[in-house]
Amino acid sequence: MKKSENFSEWYAEIVEVAGLTDKRYPIKGMNVWTPYGWKLMRLVDDLVRLEMEETGHSEVCFPLLISEDQFAKEAEHIKGFGDEVYWVTRAGGDDLEVKLLLRPTSETAMYPIFALWVRSHADLPLKTFQLVNTFRYDTKQTRAFIRVREIHFFEAHTCHANFEDAEKQIVEDIEIMKRLAKKLCLSFLILKRPEWDKFPGAFYSLAADSLMPSGRTMQIGTIHQYKDNFSKPYDIKYEDENGDHKYVNQTTYGMSERLVGALVGVHGDDLGLILPPDVAPYQIVIVPILAKGIQEKVISECKKLETELKNAGFRVILDLRDVRPGSKYFDWEIKGVPLRMELGQRDMDKKVVTFARRDTGQKMEVDRGDLISKINETLLTIAENLLDRARNLLKENTFSAQSIEEVKEAFGIVKVGWCGEESCGQEMEESTEMTMLGTPVEKEEFKGKCVMCQKPTDMVVYMSRTY
Amino acid sequence: MKKSENFSEWYAEIVEVAGLTDKRYPIKGMNVWTPYGWKLMRLVDDLVRLEMEETGHSEVCFPLLISEDQFAKEAEHIKGFGDEVYWVTRAGGDDLEVKLLLRPTSETAMYPIFALWVRSHADLPLKTFQLVNTFRYDTKQTRAFIRVREIHFFEAHTCHANFEDAEKQIVEDIEIMKRLAKKLCLSFLILKRPEWDKFPGAFYSLAADSLMPSGRTMQIGTIHQYKDNFSKPYDIKYEDENGDHKYVNQTTYGMSERLVGALVGVHGDDLGLILPPDVAPYQIVIVPILAKGIQEKVISECKKLETELKNAGFRVILDLRDVRPGSKYFDWEIKGVPLRMELGQRDMDKKVVTFARRDTGQKMEVDRGDLISKINETLLTIAENLLDRARNLLKENTFSAQSIEEVKEAFGIVKVGWCGEESCGQEMEESTEMTMLGTPVEKEEFKGKCVMCQKPTDMVVYMSRTY
C-alpha cells in the first residue's frame, strides 16, 4: 500500500507492519502496544517529562477510578463527558453503592485533592502533570493512536493565584508545545477553539493542530484556561497575603499518543516510517556486508562500532540476522530508522563506513575518524529536513477562501472571514462538513467579509476536515 | 510516632509525612502518588527495566480491560481472581453486551495475543514485561503500598519451547531478584509456596518474602511456573524443528509498589525514611549554613557545588528555603535523603564540606578536592550498611521450632519440620494463625519430625504472620 495513493489504508497498515501496535486485541478501540511502538511512545514521553521538569512541574499519579459524586460536581464537564465514560458498577460479587468511572481526563480526580493541597499563596503556583491511561467510549471509527478508547495520555494541571498568572502559564505551555514539536519535527497551528467546541468546563480552549497528508488536521495538544470554573465547585481556595480567601485560577495542558499518530502520518513515505532522531527507538542500524571468508572480521568490526556508538550515547542496533543485506534494508526502512550504516571488507580497507539516510535515501562514505561528529551532523540534518517537509506540508495546504463554495472545494486548511456570530459559525461547519478550528492565537491582519453573512470583519478563522 | 514503639502506626504516618502518598482520595484503597513517592517508584521501576533489558525482555503495554469470555478460559484462574475483580458493565448510556473487567493481572489479556505471536520455534523464547496499573477488590484492611486496590504492578510473561527452558527462566528470575534486592538493600527468602497457596492456574509458585520489623513477612515478588496450564486453554502453540505442533511452557514474574513499602518499613527509623542511594529521589541535600553578612558567598558556593554534583551524575537538591538549618535537617531526615552536605563560611575557609550520613548520623569533613570520590564511597558504604541491617533483621528473627507451641509464641519467621501432607499443613496454619510460606528453594539439610503428626521428615518449612 502506498502512502501517496491511499493515505488512510497506508496508515492502517504501516502501524502494524512497522511493529508499533497490534490491533487484534478482542476489544474495539483497545490496541496492544508492541515493543517498538511502546519504546517510541516512551521516548516521546521522556521529551515531555524533560520539558515539564525544566518548567517546574512535578509528576504525580492519581487513581484511575473516580466516584460518580465527585465527577458530577461541575455541570458542563459532566455534560461533555457523561456520554463517553465507562462505568464500574460491580466489584467481586457486590453491586457498588457509589458507581465508579474510568477517568476520561483527571480534573474530577485531582481537584478534590488540590482543595486539600492548596492552603495559602505560598502553595501557588501548583504545577503538576501525569502520564496515564484514560478511557473514552468514543463511538466514531477507531484508528490506531488517533482515535482509541484506551488512551495513553499526558495531562498537566496547574493552580494560580489569579487569572493573569494562569494566562502566563498558557504562554509557557505554548512555548513548550513549540519546543516539543520541533524535536518531533512537527509543524502545527495554535488556534483558539470557538465557544461551542471548547473543553467542557473551560473558560477558553487553545489547541495545537497538525496537518496530515490526507488534508485533514489532527488535534495533537490542547491548552485550557479554566479561570475559576472548577475551583468554585471543587472549593480550591487559598489565603492571600492579606488573609483573604480566594479561588485559584487553573489551566490544563493535554497531549496523547496522537503524537505518535502524527509522527507516522506526517513523516512516513511509501517505504514505511521515518522517525525523527530524537525519538527513534534506534537512531542507527548497522548492517554488515558479508562475503565468503570475511564474515568474522567484518562482524567483529561491526560489534566494535556498535559499542563505540552506544558509548557515544546513540541508540544503535546491529542486525546480525541470517538474511541478505537487501532484506535488512527493507525491514529497517519500514521501521523508519533515520540512519543506516553499512560495513563490509571494502569499507574496512578504506577505513570508512557507508551511511544511507532514511529520509532522502542519500548514500555517503564517512572516514572512521570523523564518525561521531558526522553522525551528529547527519542526524541534525535529517531532523531539519523532516521539520522543513512538515512545515511545507502545512504551508502548501493552507488556503484563503472568499466564498463558502471555495471552502467546500478546498483540500487542507482554509482561512476565511467570520463575523464572530455562532449562528454563522455553525452554518459554516454544516454547509462544508468541516470543523471550525478557531482563530489564530498570534493575531493575523485581516480585512474582509464573513463568508456567511457578508458583514465586514477583521476576524479570520481556520477550517478543515479533522480526525 | 516512633518506629521502635508502634511499627504499624509509624508506617501509616511516615508514608504521608515523608510525602510519598496522599491517602485522602475518596475511594478506599486508592491513594494518590505524590511527587516524592512517584519519583521513588519510578526509580525503582528504572532498576527493574534495566534488569529486564539486560536479560532480553521486551517492554509491552496491553489494554487494561479484559472481556469476560477471555478471562473465563482458565478455570483455576477465574476461581482465584473472580471474587476480586472490578466489572465495567456500562459505557456511555449503553449496557455492555460482554462485560469487561479491570485486569487484576494480565494473563488473560496477553495470552490470546501470544497465541498469534508465537508461530514457530524461532519465535521462542518470547520474553515480555510491562509496568501497569492493576486492580483488586481486596476486602482486607488497606495499607499504603502494601495492600491497595489500584496496584502499580510489574509483570514479566515468557513463553518457552519446553519445560526445561521455562525452568531456566525461573533460575534467571531468581538471579534478577537477587541483584534487584541488593540495589534496594533488601534481604529476602525465596520459598516455594505450598500447593494450596500457589498462583491460581500455576504449576508451582515461588515467592520472595521480606521481613518487616513488625515480625510479619511481606511477599515482594512472585515467580510462577505455568508449564502448559495456560497455553492449552489459550492455544499458544509453535511448530518445532520437525514440523510438530507443541504447546509452549510459560512463566511469569511479578512485583509491585510493595517494594516501596519494604523500603519504608525495613530501612526507616524514628526520624523517618532512610532511602537506598540507588533509588533515593535525592541522594544528597545541600544545606547552606548562613550567618549575617556572608549569605551571598555561601549561597553562590552552594550553587556551584550543586552544579558540580549534578554534572557528576548525582541526584542533588539545594535547600534554599528561608528556615533555620535545623529545621531543614529535620525535613530531609524524614524524607530519608542518604547524605546531607553542609556548607558554611568556616567550611569554605578550610576548603572542606561537612557530610552527615542519614543511616548513622555520623558527621565528617571532606576536602573539596576529594569530594566526588568521597561521595561515591560514602553512598556505597551507606548501601552496604542498609543491606547488612536488613540481613541481620531477617537472620536475627528467624527461629527453629520443635513444637507447635513454640511456633505460636515466635516473633518473625519460624522453621519447622513438616511431613508434606496438606492436612498437617492446614492444621499448622490454623492453630498458629500463621501462614506457611513454603519450602526453601535452595535445599536445606534437615532431620526432624513433622510438628503436627510427628512423622520423621527431612522437609523444613517456613512460617510467619504476613501482610
Query: Which of B63, B83, B85 is opposite residue A27, by nearest beta carbon?
Result: B63
pLDDT band at B118 (very low <50, low <70, confident <90, very high): very high
A290 within a domain of the structure (yes/no): yes
The verdict on A179 and A257 lying in the same domain is yes
Lowest pLDDT segment from A130-144, A252-266, A280-294, B308-322: A280-294
CATH of the domain at A89: 3.30.930.10
The verdict on A248 and A353 lying in the same domain is no
Query: Which of B32, B66, B83 is opposite residue A63, by nearest beta carbon?
Result: B32
B390 within a domain of the structure (yes/no): no
Q: How many domains does chain B have?
A: 3
The verdict on A35 and A157 lying in the same domain is yes
- pLDDT at position A397, please? 97
The verdict on A161 and A231 lying in the same domain is yes
In this complex, do B60 and A38 lie within 8 Å of one another by their Cβ atoms?
A: yes
**pLDDT over threshold 90, residue A76:** no
The verdict on B221 and B331 lying in the same domain is no
**pLDDT over threshold 80, residue B292:** no
Say which DSSP state B27 is in. Answer: S
CATH of the domain at B430: 3.30.110.30
**pLDDT over threshold 90, residue A172:** yes
B39–chain A Cβ distance below 8 A for any pair: yes
C-alpha cell read off for A228: 475559576
For residues B110 and B139, the model is more confident at B110
- How many residues are recorded in chain A? 467
pLDDT band at B442 (very low <50, low <70, confident <90, very high): confident
B278 within a domain of the structure (yes/no): no
A419–chain B Cβ distance below 8 A for any pair: no
* pLDDT tens, position by position, A112-158: 999 999 999 999 999 999 999 999 998 889 999 999 999 999 999 99
The verdict on B374 and B244 lying in the same domain is no
- pLDDT at position A80, please? 86
pLDDT band at A162 (very low <50, low <70, confident <90, very high): very high
The verdict on A229 and A329 lying in the same domain is no
Q: Which residue, A279, A341, A62, A52, is CA-closest to A177?
A: A52
The verdict on A370 and A435 lying in the same domain is no
B385 within a domain of the structure (yes/no): no
Question: How far apart, in Å, are the Cα atoms of B14 and each of A70, A100, A330, B264, B277?
Answer: 28, 29, 56, 8, 19
The verdict on A187 and A292 lying in the same domain is no
What is the residue range of B329's domain? 284-379
Chain B partners within 8 Å of A64 (Cβ):
30, 64, 133, 135, 150
Nearest CA in chain B to A62: B32
Q: ipTM of this complex > 0.95?
A: yes
User: How confident is the model over A292-296, as a mean pLDDT?
Assistant: 77
- pLDDT at position B76, please? 82
Asked which of A348, A381, A414 is the last residue of a domain, the reply is: A381
A105 within a domain of the structure (yes/no): yes
Chain B partners within 8 Å of A88 (Cβ):
86-89, 102
Asked which of B317, B347, B379 is the last residue of a domain, the reply is: B379
- pLDDT at position A138, please? 87
In this complex, do B113 and A22 lie within 8 Å of one another by their Cβ atoms?
A: yes
Average pLDDT, rounded, for chain B: 96
Query: Which of B27, B67, B84 is opposite residue A27, by nearest beta carbon?
Result: B67
Chain B partners within 8 Å of A317 (Cβ):
none
In this complex, do A92 and B137 lie within 8 Å of one another by their Cβ atoms?
A: yes
Q: Which residues contact A122 (CB under 8 A, 6 or more apart)?
A: none
| B-interface mutation test, from A23, A24, A28, A34, most B Cβ less than 10 A away | A34
Give this prediction's pTM: 0.97
Say which DSSP state B390 is in. Answer: H
Asked which of A381, A407, A428 is the last residue of a domain, the reply is: A381
User: How confident is the model over A425-454, as a mean pLDDT?
Assistant: 95
A38–chain B Cβ distance below 8 A for any pair: yes
CA distance A443 to chain B (A): 38
The verdict on A243 and A157 lying in the same domain is yes
Question: How far apart, in Å, are the Cα atoms of B17 and each of A52, B20, B23?
Answer: 25, 8, 11
User: How confident is the model over A302-323, as a mean pLDDT?
Assistant: 96
In this complex, do B63 and A31 lie within 8 Å of one another by their Cβ atoms?
A: yes
B279 within a domain of the structure (yes/no): no
- pLDDT at position B421, please? 96
In this complex, do A113 and B63 lie within 8 Å of one another by their Cβ atoms?
A: no
Average pLDDT, rounded, for chain A: 96
In this complex, do B26 and A67 lie within 8 Å of one another by their Cβ atoms?
A: yes
B122–chain A Cβ distance below 8 A for any pair: no
A322–chain B Cβ distance below 8 A for any pair: no
**pLDDT over threshold 80, residue A364:** yes
The verdict on A181 and A288 lying in the same domain is no
Nearest CA in chain B to A129: B35
- pLDDT at position B80, please? 85
The verdict on B161 and B70 lying in the same domain is yes
CATH of the domain at A351: 3.40.50.800
A272 within a domain of the structure (yes/no): no
User: How confident is the model over A76-83, as a mean pLDDT?
Assistant: 84
- pLDDT at position B384, please? 98
Question: How far apart, in Å, are the Cα atoms of A110 and each of A236, A237, A442, B25, B31?
Answer: 11, 14, 31, 9, 11
A54 within a domain of the structure (yes/no): yes
CA B110 from centre of chain: 23
- pLDDT at position A77, please? 79
